[in-house]
Structure 1
């Protein structure tokens, strides 16, 4: 946090700026955002920025020391494994809670990581809209894009990763009932920016090993799938009628391969070690003398905070049958770092978003997603009835 920038922002804040921001986004896509947008972005100074990216670099370095084939066999049931070539993960999201370091400062602490696409196109629009509608945000010296990207080069990067060399007509964004998803604003932003279709899993036509969808009365071949189907949600819909399953052997290129959803996730957190990584244990293999009051219980494969137990007890744990699907993670203390007009400050979770670069043969940071809350869970599905909470973006000092 940069005190001077925050004070200037708060002193000059007007409700009309926030209303204009929301209207700007709603007019772009014909409907308001389905989740709450925070009234404010977050500002990150050079020191915290350096610590965040040092932690990210260490985490990614440790990733490549993990035997992912072994992780695949351990955590993905055979019936859920895709037979197609795994390849490299196209995406990575690393989530940090901005926490009290015990010495009056702020330290980023790893909350989770996932090899699954996030709101890449929406975040770009949100950052642009903040700059457009809030005159008190510094126009120079701060950026929400990462790795020296700008609006044009960022869009080219997303086109390269998602569309590749394909005709956009032969690329789809795949979801389950996309028009009902809270994150649908990102789907519409992706369609608008990249020219690809947003398609429900139930609308995919399978003929042999080929996939198609109908468009304007004709059948269009699908060569590449930008996968946004969260398997946790799909598995809870056993009666969903489809021609095609994510585990089918089909002639298509995945962006990203469905198995990465499992393999780079909370399931590998006990294998990582760093000062910014809270200690984690698999629930079926944790020290018996562990003080459970200092740990949180998390299911390995769920999104939006589902199934998290902030105060696990031994009695509760003994009632869990599939303990291999849970971890215990050391609790962190989020710092109420964002000064809010109501007097109750907001806590922050920062997500650094990566794409895979073929030319550089590495994961590359491209943009960020930021969430704010005043409750115990930092998630847009668990918002308190207050202001200055919800979806946002961070501006990093150069």
Structure 2
């Protein structure tokens, strides 16, 4: 995105450096990634950084509306509501496509958002390994709010573990060893000292949860939740006996599962910003646009891009029996803004927020990027390309206060 820096990086790139970088990532995390990591980070110019931050803060303003919970009361499917929801999510991630405006300047457009954690531990590893193996300009940072590697992990420890002993806090997932994101679980364990536990390993006594840590029954005070509950519901019959997480439990959720649905595509029709494509609940559109080819259909209750219809037709809409569970969104045109030795690529940038208990607003802390040369963004859609996959951003002249 910054021609001089991009050209220098491409010219200095070697497969040997990339191989050493990947080996460093695996050594640091304790396991090799189960997805492709791109050959390059994304260098974000200051003007685009400012637009990204502005877009995020406009979205956060909607989240801070006093009527937000009323506004999103139908966002949580009744069968997926979990008791004891707290006042706010501890984590928010906001995904933007990088596009071009009419004047040719780069601009973000919102793609999706979630009240859910992301690859917190792994993204730090990736950024640090990029800095170790490649020449990253000193006036670029992967962090915001003057964080560094030490203060970033200190913040995560405070939010995820708090005052509890690490052994009484777990990272909870469904079949964690089968997840593509398991490298993040390994790194989280290594840095925070908490165990990754499958839902089938939970022990319930009354309303208290326990797990076996090195053969010793250990109480669980907090759950760092990585379960997507509609995915859990789909797999429930194949998991065998496991604890019902939809009941009253004496445990703290970091973050509570209900926020995954409240902060999601469901919010998009309520956000009015130059950086958010126009969106409607499908059942509330009085007249359908005549240029449906310029729109996408998204199911409200899905994840990882599943079920999204890109080339919308009237026939697609006619076949939908539950329009209240879909949104129609103006299509976003990605800009081929990243020049690579094997052709131009598009990208998405995920802005990562942490919201401490007692804080008035969530704080922007880190990022994630996905680089693609296909029609779909995501690490699963680029298995045959190079210079694509998961990545991270380095932002030019990141300022205090972001």
**What TM-score, normalized by structure 1, do the two folds share?**
0.96
Could you list the per-position Cα deviations for residues 230-255 of structure 1 after superposition, in whole angstroms to 9, with x for gaps in the alignment? 12321211303344223120100000
CA contact (8 A) 2:29 2:122 kept: no
CA change 1:326–1:289 in 2 (3 A) is closer
Shift of 1:361: 2.2
The match for 1:312 is 312
Work out the CA distance in 2 between the residues paired with 1:27 and 1:46: 33
CA change 1:358–1:381 in 2 (3 A) is same
Shift of 1:382: 1.6
**SS of equivalent to 2:280:** strand
Could you list the per-position Cα deviations for residues 84-112 of structure 1 after superposition, in whole angstroms to 9, with x for gaps in the alignment? 14221100001110012122221100111
**SS of equivalent to 2:97:** strand
The match for 1:387 is 386
Work out the CA distance in 1 between the residues paired with 2:358 and 2:258: 23
Work out the CA distance in 1 between the residues paired with 2:99 and 2:241: 44
Q: Which moved more, 1:124-133 or 1:64-73?
A: 64-73
Shift of 1:71: 4.3
CA contact (8 A) 1:374 1:389 kept: yes
CA contact (8 A) 2:29 2:125 kept: no
- What are the within-5 Å matches in structure 2 for residues 112-123 of structure 1? 112-123=112-123
Shift of 1:359: 5.1
**SS of equivalent to 1:358:** coil
Q: Which moved more, 1:59-68 or 1:149-158?
A: 59-68
Number of residue equivalences: 395
Work out the CA distance in 1 between the residues paired with 2:304 and 2:67: 27
CA RMSD of aligned residues (A): 1.4
CA contact (8 A) 1:97 1:111 kept: yes
Shift of 1:27: 2.2
**SS of equivalent to 1:237:** helix
The match for 2:129 is 129
Q: Is 1:245 paired with 2:251?
A: no
Gaps spanning 5+ residues in structure 1: where? none
**SS of equivalent to 1:276:** coil
Q: Is 1:189 paired with 2:187?
A: yes
Shift of 1:296: 0.4
CA contact (8 A) 1:232 1:303 kept: no
**What TM-score, normalized by structure 2, do the two folds share?**
0.95
Work out the CA distance in 1 between the residues paired with 2:368 and 2:76: 28
Shift of 1:384: 5.4
**Which of residues 125, 140, 150 is equivalent to 1:152?**
150
CA change 1:329–1:202 in 2 (3 A) is same
The match for 2:26 is 26
The match for 1:36 is 36
**Which of residues 200, 203, 206 is equivalent to 1:205?**
203
Q: Which moved more, 1:102-111 or 1:69-78?
A: 69-78
- What are the within-5 Å matches in structure 2 for residues 164-175 of structure 1? 164-175=162-173
Could you list the per-position Cα deviations for residues 162-184 of structure 1 after superposition, in whole angstroms to 9, with x for gaps in the alignment? 11111000000000000110000
Gaps spanning 5+ residues in structure 2: where? 398-402
